[in-house]
């Protein structure tokens, strides 16, 4: 396993991040435990979750699974950099969602209890809250940091200007501010190249891409269909919309002699500011097949150019849409 620093911090994390969103709804607790144990064995020390995962309002099903896994001991908690999130609706009352100081405090306390830990390594805002001022958000986060309940703060699904506004406000308060941004990023979804990546580079944020395989589209979906696997209706529709690109993509990977999933992850690891793509396995097989291989794949300039032809990216703004 390779390790890198999370943004401008001194915190070292693995270059692959274990996503836990499937734990509970699609992966049983025993299987989730086995996957987390295997991830540690592989050297993955960076785990990502959220208080809303498990999709039973207010229960934090996935965080509870992580907590029971930590409770087994064996150095599990000490070895893992755990990232969770706040913003989502955790109850039916008005202040049980978003980023008011009240909800941040209550949500953090609840996550700590569910995960059976004293501190959250990386506490991420799951979405921007346009109705809460940054002074209020940072006051709440600063209090959690002072109490030792949160070590670092990150964002997720922020625009470039949100990152700038957040960190300039934090700077005025002599607070560290955001150290990471978790964004949708893959070969088929490259919008963040326009403004989010430049902002992250400027402010020292590490990018944590979610959906690195575009919901499975970049994982050899055409080959799998040929082998008899059936995609859901939404995926089938998307396949037909971009079939020529998918055909070119899978042919490119075949020419490299590599599995598409590994190539897609390797491409992300090659991009500036990217700390660790999130791999969200449902099964042990999905965890172990190809993920480590991604760390070994290197690209020639011609190969990178070919990938840009198949999956066109974005220039840095404003050059992308202006002279």
53 is catalytic: yes
Distance of CA 270 to the CA centre of its chain: 16
DSSP characters over 183-230: EE-BTTB-GGGTTHHHHHHHHTPEEEEE-TTGGGTTTTHHHHHHTT--
Taking a C-beta distance cutoff of 8 angstroms, is the pair 82, 108 a contact?
Answer: no
Cα angle, residue 271 at apex, residues 129 and 48 outer, rounded to 5°: 50
Angle, in degrees to the nearest 10, between helices 243-256 and 301-310: 160
Tokens 């919008």, residue located? 191
Distance (Å, rounded) from C-alpha 157 to C-alpha 196?
Answer: 9
Cβ partners under 8 Å of residue 290, min gap 6: 259, 261, 262, 265
Distance (Å, rounded) from C-alpha 15 to C-alpha 127?
Answer: 23
Angle, in degrees to the nearest 10, between helices 243-256 and 260-269: 90
Distance (Å, rounded) from C-alpha 44 to C-alpha 36?
Answer: 9
Distance (Å, rounded) from C-alpha 53 to C-alpha 50?
Answer: 5
Taking a C-beta distance cutoff of 8 angstroms, is the pair 135, 169 a contact?
Answer: yes
* 3-class state of residue 216 by DSSP: helix
Of 166, 91, 94, nearest to 128 by C-alpha is 166
How does DSSP classify residue 315?
P
Of 231, 312, 281, 285, nearest to 16 by C-alpha is 281
Catalytic residue, from 53, 87, 123, 152: name it.
53
Query: Which residues are tagged catalytic?
Result: 53
């Amino acid at each position: 396993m390779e390790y890198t620093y999370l943004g401008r911090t001194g915190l070292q994390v693995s270059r692959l991040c274990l996503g836990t969103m499937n734990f509970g709804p699609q992966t049983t607790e025993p299987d989730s435990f086995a996957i987390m144990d295997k991830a540690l064995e592989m050297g993955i020390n960076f785990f990502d979750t959220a208080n809303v995962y498990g999709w039973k309002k207010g229960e934090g099903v996935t965080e509870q699974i992580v907590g029971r896994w930590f409770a087994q001991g064996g150095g599990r908690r000490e070895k893992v950099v755990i990232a969770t999130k706040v913003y989502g609706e955790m109850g039916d009352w008005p202040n049980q969602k978003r980023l008011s100081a009240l909800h941040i405090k209550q949500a953090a306390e609840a996550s700590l209890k569910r995960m059976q830990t004293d501190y959250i390594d990386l506490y991420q805002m799951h979405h921007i809250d346009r109705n809460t001022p940054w002074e209020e958000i940072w006051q709440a986060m600063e209090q959690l940091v002072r109490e030792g309940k949160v070590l670092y703060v990150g964002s997720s699904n922020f625009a470039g200007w949100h990152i700038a506004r957040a960190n300039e406000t934090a700077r005025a308060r002599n607070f560290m501010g955001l150290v990471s941004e978790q964004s949708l990023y893959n070969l088929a979804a490259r919008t963040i190249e326009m403004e989010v990546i430049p902002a992250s580079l400027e402010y020292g944020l590490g990018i944590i891409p979610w959906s690195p395989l575009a919901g499975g589209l970049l994982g050899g979906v055409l080959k799998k269909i040929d082998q008899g696997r059936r995609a859901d209706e939404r995926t089938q529709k998307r396949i037909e919309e971009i079939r020529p690109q998918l055909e070119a993509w899978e042919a490119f990977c075949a020419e490299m002699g590599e599995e598409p999933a590994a190539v897609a992850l390797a491409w992300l690891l090659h991009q500036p500011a990217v700390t660790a793509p999130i791999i969200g396995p449902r099964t042990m097989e999905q965890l172990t097949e190809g993920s480590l291989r991604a760390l070994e794949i290197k690209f020639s300039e011609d190969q990178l150019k070919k990938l840009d032809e198949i999956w066109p990216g974005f220039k840095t703004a404003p050059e992308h849409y202006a002279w």
